Structure 1
Amino acid sequence: PDLLGEGFADRWHQQLVDMYGLDYDVSEHIFLTTLDNLNGNDVVPPKGADTLLTVLGNADLDDDIDSDDVKAVESAVKMGATVVDYPYCDANNDGAVDQKDVQFVKDMVAKKKQVIYYYNVDGEIASVHYPVTGTIIATYNKTLEAVRTLGLSSQVIAIDDFSYEWPTYFPEFMNLPSIGSRFTPSVEKVLDLDADAYLCGTKKWFAATLETDIGSSDMDVIRLPTWEEGQVLSGMITLGYITQHEEQAKEYIEWADSILSKVEDAIGDKADSDKPTVLVLDAGKPLSTKKAGSGQYENSVRAGGYNIVKDIGSEEEYYTNLTMEWILNKDPDFIVFSQSSTAYQWNDANLQEALDNLKKDFALTTACDEGRFHILNLEVFIGPSYPIGVLYMAKWFYPEELADVDVSEYLQDYIDRFCGLDMDVVEHGGFAL
């Protein structure tokens, strides 16, 4: 700061605006330090924790661990960086950014077998024996979908009771043993299987005390988002890294981005006030809405809708019950129902019947009266296939901008490329109406 002078950040910001049209608040992203501490070969790490790959050591906050991360941690050490500002530079999770982290990241780049650390779905720092290339217990259908998408099916040795309801979609897992309920698994069965890892989601729903229950077992409990908070991409790329399936994760991310970027182009730079208002409800409990954290909420926003339950109820709730009076008063442009899992066994006729039954109770809404009343199967609303659900909704919200898009083509590509199923999605149906 002494060398650059007071107001440097403001002057740099104005220069970016004048020369490049970039309204970029550099004060939030730069770390001013004595100039002779760093040189042109250094990689200055970005502040914060905005990254998809939530593995400590990902110091440059991109999608992999490589030599740039080593350089970024080296720079962080020179800068006297703190864990508070640069959490991903504390690769060994000892509470300090120092030379030990430099060596730790070098070992990560060399793919050394060691315990590494990551932020799990609940925002907690957890450990895992890297790499996870051995046996896996996978619970809940969205976790199984993530596992298969990344090419990990052969490592799965057990599932949960609920997953047996999916013979059409998960035929390869039907003969595996069960650990019981995905919510409260049998610890005895889990330990008897002696798996290397147990994959599940948030403690709010799944096996909340499992880490404690398994005692001194070496089994890793890996909690990554496969639907929660709309953070599927992060869960996929992090799981891909932990299991050394980075290429499969990259292929999936590229597939998802190809769809999401198309939606973003359709939305453009519309302000929230110019977006169609939308309400997402549970088809099984029609007055129950999906809130922030549910995945459905986030994906309706990604599709370019302004979800009207943004400020309703507690932030800790995924679901909130509404009244018909409230819905009629708000009168959203679109109402989208989330149809609970039908295990890929419904067709369009089943979905139409469900939608027709819902119309009886919502006949007074403008959305129903004017044909902006839809139903979307949970199979594509959340989970690894969620970009399909986003595209369905975006096509409803922005029909002119996406007039030439055939969503079924993208869904067929997903089934063919990542699922290995012999399924014609148009003939099968049951996804969205």
Structure 2
Amino acid sequence: MNLNKIGSLAMATLIVLASVTLLSIVPVSASDDFTLGIYGNANQDDTIDMRDVTKIARMICWLEDEVDLADAKYDGNINVLDIIQTELTILRRDKTLTVIDDTGEAVTLSKPVESFVYHGHNSYVYETLRAIGVADKIVGTSDRFVTPGKCRYSEAYYPELCGFTNVGILKSPDYEVVNTLRPDLVISDAEEYYDRTKTPDIPVIALDVRLSNFREATMKFGYIFDSVEKAEEYINWYDGWEETVNEKVETISDDEKPLVLICYYKPGTTSFSIPVRDHYRSVMVHAAGGKCVGDEFDGTGYVKVDAEWVIDRNPDVIIFSGANQYVGYDIEDPSDAIALINDFTSQPELAEVNAVKNNRVYLVSHSFILCGGASGLIGTVYYAKWMYPELFADMDAQEMQQEFVTDFQHLDLNVENCYCVYPPPA
């Protein structure tokens, strides 16, 4: 056995012994519903702490089998350097960090990350970065956030991005601009939108913030930007609201659940692209205690149906997602929203549909009350309020939205003065 190995074993043995004491004072994570995909997370839970240091030390001493995430240095070896790297991550003093992104790619970043480009289509990635206090590090973003008339453009909700540096359209990034900006990191929310090889000197991470991975993605961003405590605060706020919704929905029997049509709508629409069972919009309806007309189809995409098909299913509730001209943070007059709903409900062939007969047709912002991040949970609460006004009478969706806007989006914006949904639930 060489001297380096002997030294590593001696060091690891001391760490194992010391960690017995340390572990007695380290708080246990409140939630283990995911494995945080960051190298250094040796015990494969949802955080990086002294338990990971102990785990790595035990692996070095051959007391436990090695796991890939124990290789904190990401150099193919598990040794004392991984212990040091993990301790630096815990102390927020690490100079590199290796994160597994949504593609399964291990991306190694230099730290601290002082600047980033966000090239993506979803608002909730940028909302997450704003929530954990790092939005001021952005140096460029895609055209849909910065160009008037585009789907994410908002002078009220994204004032800091109006006229901001444009790095191109979603499916055709301007790689020359990105290379000129030379950010520390490029963030995308899907692999297909960005070709990593076009900016080879800049690390690129594909990391979306869906309802299904909200906690893990938020924590990853927390570690990337050394804002773990704020990420945990954001998650705790989210968990509190989600738990309340879940407790109420659990009391609803299947027979009580209304049938819901949810889809995009614009004047003159005669066919509807409805989300199927596992689509994220359907998932939101299910979380709110409803059944979707698209549940009879497997998959995660859409199925196109005609008005006759909708009439035959006879939904109890209809939720349309509308464009920015109808609903959103910039809309202070609901006239266009009302007109859009009337355009649908005034069609004679729809008169006997339950949702039309009972005035249960609603409109939600396609751009801002979305399907991921905390805004997706806000949408879920609005859906629940519409479906079960009595059961959810003690939950105020607008209050939740205001907390989100004020405490986590850091905006001086009164949501009572705008219409992100119509009609607002009582």
Structure 1-normalised TM-score? Answer: 0.76
1:253 to 235, 240, 246: 235
Displacement of 1:272: 4.7
Distance 1:238 1:134, change over 3 A: same
Letter in 1 for 2:318: I
Cα separation, 1, equivalents of 2:208 and 2:415:
26
Q: Secondary structure of the residue that 2:165 maps to in structure 1?
A: coil
User: What pairs with 1:12-411 in structure 2 (closer than 5 Å)?
Assistant: 50-51=33-34, 53-74=36-57, 80-81=64-65, 83=67, 88-89=69-70, 91=72, 102=83, 104-122=85-103, 124-139=104-119, 140=121, 141-164=123-146, 165-204=153-192, 206-207=193-194, 209=195, 211-215=196-200, 217=201, 219-226=202-209, 228=210, 230-268=212-250, 270=252, 272=254, 274-284=256-266, 287-291=272-276, 295-310=280-295, 312=297, 315=299, 317-341=300-324, 344-347=329-332, 348-361=334-347, 362-378=350-366, 379-384=368-373, 385-411=375-401
Aligned length: 381
Displacement of 1:326: 3.2
Check the 8 A contact 1:230/1:294 in 2, yes or no. Answer: no
Q: Which consecutive unaligned segments of at least 5 residues does structure 2 have?
A: 1-16, 147-152
Letter in 2 for 1:352: I
Which has the higher mean CA deviation after the structures are superposed, 187-196 or 420-429? 420-429
Cα separation, 1, equivalents of 2:97 and 2:115:
18
Displacement of 1:254: 1.9
Letter in 2 for 1:212: T
Check the 8 A contact 2:277/2:292 in 1, yes or no. Answer: no
Structure 2-normalised TM-score? Answer: 0.78
Distance 1:292 1:150, change over 3 A: farther
Check the 8 A contact 1:230/1:298 in 2, yes or no. Answer: no
Q: Secondary structure of the residue that 2:400 maps to in structure 1?
A: helix
Which has the higher mean CA deviation after the structures are superposed, 277-286 or 176-185? 277-286
Distance 1:62 1:191, change over 3 A: same
The residue that corresponds to 2:8 in the other structure is none
Q: Secondary structure of the residue that 1:309 maps to in structure 2?
A: helix
Displacement of 1:149: 1.9
Percent sequence identity over aligned pairs: 23
Cα separation, 2, equivalents of 1:41 and 1:273:
53
Check the 8 A contact 2:211/2:372 in 1, yes or no. Answer: no
Query: 1:196-240 CA deviation, whole Å, 9 max, x = no partner?
Result: 111220124x22x2x12213x1x22122113x4643343222212
Check the 8 A contact 1:282/1:290 in 2, yes or no. Answer: no
Letter in 1 for 2:356: C
CA RMSD between the two structures = 3.3
Check the 8 A contact 1:128/1:222 in 2, yes or no. Answer: no
Distance 1:429 1:94, change over 3 A: same
Displacement of 1:274: 4.9
Q: Which consecutive unaligned segments of at least 5 residues does structure 1 have?
A: 1-37
Displacement of 1:294: 5.0
Q: Secondary structure of the residue that 1:322 maps to in structure 2?
A: strand
Cα separation, 1, equivalents of 2:331 and 2:260:
25
Cα separation, 1, equivalents of 2:227 and 2:173:
27
Distance 1:63 1:423, change over 3 A: same
Distance 1:320 1:114, change over 3 A: farther
Query: 1:39-95 CA deviation, whole Å, 9 max, x = no partner?
Result: x9599x99xx95174323334454421102223445567565465xxx644545567
Cα separation, 2, equivalents of 1:309 and 1:265:
25
Check the 8 A contact 2:362/2:421 in 1, yes or no. Answer: no
Letter in 2 for 1:423: L
Letter in 1 for 2:159: P
Cα separation, 2, equivalents of 1:179 and 1:232:
26
Letter in 2 for 1:377: S
Cα separation, 2, equivalents of 1:75 and 1:325:
65
Cα separation, 1, equivalents of 2:305 and 2:75:
46
Distance 1:117 1:321, change over 3 A: farther
Letter in 1 for 2:234: Y
Q: Secondary structure of the residue that 1:287 maps to in structure 2?
A: strand
